[in-house]
Structure formats: C-alpha cells, structure tokens
Amino acid sequence: MNARTEPAEAEPDAPARPPLVRELLLVAGLFLVYKFGRRLASGHTGEAFRNARHVWDLERWLHLPGEGGVQSLLLHGDTLVHVANTYYATVHFPATAAFLVWLYLRRPGHYVWARRVLAAVTGAALVLHLAFPLAPPRMLAATGLVDTGRLYGPSVYGPPRTDALSNQFAAMPSLHFGWALMVAVGLIVATRSRWRWLWLLHPLLTLLVIVGTANHYWLDVIVATTLLGAALAVLRLPRHRPARTTGGPTRPRPVARPADRHRLVGAGR
C-alpha cells in the first residue's frame, strides 16, 4: 500500500482520545469532590455575613455599579425574571457537560486541556470557599435586593439551615461564571467558524443572570475571571506537531562533487 492509498486516519501525530471509562470516572470524581467540598464549607453563618458586608462596602468604595441596577431590569416583568431563574437553575451543569462531551468526541486534544483547566479553577474555588465563606447578596439586607428564586421561582435553594444539597455561603468566586467563561473560551479556541465569538454570549448572559438574581456580587465574577486567567496562563494548550506523510521521510538528494561530474561527462561520450 503506497502513500496515495493509505487511509488518512493513520497519522501518527494525531492526538489520541483518552479512554472513555477512565474519563467518566475522573469527571464523576471531580464532580463529587466539588459537591462534598462545598458541603465542608457550610456552617460558617456569622463569618459569611461579616464577609458579605465587607465585600459590599468594598464594591461601593471601588465605585462598582450596583447589582440592583441589573435586578431592576429583570423585575420589569414576571416572565423575564422567571426565565433568568430558570437559566440559573438549569444551564450551569448541562452546558459544561455538553461542552466536555463535544470536545471529547470532536477535539480530543482540546478536551484534555479544557478538563484540566476546569479542574484547576474548581479546586482553587473550593479553597476560597473554605477560607472565605460569603453570603450572597440576596441574603444581605443592606443590598436592598430580593431573592428572585424564592419570590418568582424556580429556586434551586431551600432555607440555608435545612439545605443539605448545597453550600449557600460559597458565593466567591462564582463558578457559574467561571465555567461559562471557560466554555466560551474553549469553543472559540477549538473551532474556526467566523461566528464562534458568539459563544461569549453564554458568559455574558450568565453574568447578567447571577447578578440580577442576587446570587453573586460583581467581585465574585472578577475573582472567578482572575482564577481562570491564571489557570489558562499555566495550563497552556499543547501544540501538536503536524502529521508526517505516510510515505516516510524524504531523503535529501546527494550533491555531486566536481570529480564525479567529470567522470559522468566522460562516460557519456
């Protein structure tokens, strides 16, 4: 079989797809660590509210725009705020999972990189959740914001004291935004369509939703962006060498020396 008839998929330098079972176990393990890690950070109610007041005062000192401006836009109609609550409750995990599945099937080299970045950001976030418990703005009376999930539904949280599924005092950083931004970055890097920049609408919508529903402060978003930027700076996308042709490496032609050329000319007479 020569180079013309050999199948194209036999390129030795193409990135290999990781074993499926191993990846499923790894991602499931990371998810469990994420859930149990958030539970370990619960129970610091007094400290969480003190930190919330400090964050709110710091945002005002920095002259950041008030979260209430975004929430007032959502409260113009029950339908809009209900859509925002639904987006907050249903898009976060499925969008990230679909992103990883697509990369695994279509861009295996990008998949490994994206999975490592998401794991690094999530791990760093869990450390901050433990070190800096933070009540969300919907719980802090000084913000003047309302809990849109509780008032308009749907809500993913129950009363903080009886909520055994999530840690509501883990507002900083916002993994909702950090994961959404990584999904957009990963799809922009992994695709070549001129429309790929529209993926930035996902983190933009997520930003408006998490702030407008009073689940996160602006500083939660800033810290999440900083963590993702650091992870992307450290965990660079590996560059794959261009695939070699299947016909084997080409050998350079030998250069004839002057004496050899003289003998060749004489032989042709």
The tokens describing 184, both together, are 């957009």
The whole-angstrom separation of Cα 222 and Cα 228 is: 10
Decide if 250 is inside a domain. Answer: no
Decide if 223 is inside a domain. Answer: yes
Provide the pLDDT for residue 26: 79
Provide the pLDDT for residue 253: 54
Decide if 148 is inside a domain. Answer: yes
Domain that holds residue 159: 15-241
Please state the rounded mean pLDDT for residues 246-261: 52
- Per the structure, the count of domains in the chain is 1
Neighbours of 14 (CB within 10 A): 13
Please list, in sequence order, all residues whose beta carbon lies within 8 angstroms of the beta carbon of residue 144, skipping any fewer than 6 positions away. Answer: 68
Q: Give the residue, 32 or 74, on which the prediction is more confident.
A: 74
The whole-angstrom separation of Cα 187 and Cα 36 is: 29
Provide the pLDDT for residue 5: 42
Please state the rounded mean pLDDT for residues 169-177: 92
Q: Give the residue, 77 or 104, on which the prediction is more confident.
A: 104
Q: Is the pLDDT of residue 71 over 70?
A: yes
Q: Quick check: bond before 15 cis, omega within 30?
A: no
Query: Helix or strand or coil: residue 174?
Result: coil
Give the residue ranges of DSSP H helices in the chain: 20-40, 45-61, 67-74, 78-90, 92-106, 108-131, 148-152, 175-190, 201-212, 218-234, 258-267
Decide if 247 is inside a domain. Answer: no
Residue 40's pLDDT band (boundaries 50, 70, 90)?
Answer: low
Least confident of 18-22, 105-109, 121-125: 18-22
Please state the rounded mean pLDDT for residues 252-268: 53
Q: Backbone phi, then psi, for 232, in 5-degree steps?
A: -70, -30
Decide if 10 is inside a domain. Answer: no
Q: Is the pLDDT of residue 1 over 50?
A: no
Decide if 75 is inside a domain. Answer: yes
Q: Backbone phi, then psi, for 155, in 5-degree steps?
A: -120, 140
The tokens describing 238, both together, are 């590996």
DSSP state of 256: P
Query: Helix or strand or coil: residue 199?
Result: helix
Q: Give the residue, 259 or 187, on which the prediction is more confident.
A: 187
Q: Give the residue, 206 or 246, on which the prediction is more confident.
A: 206
Please state the rounded mean pLDDT for residues 101-120: 92
Residue 246's pLDDT band (boundaries 50, 70, 90)?
Answer: very low
Please state the rounded mean pLDDT for residues 203-220: 96
Residue entry with tokens 């000084």: 142
Residue entry with tokens 């933070």: 134
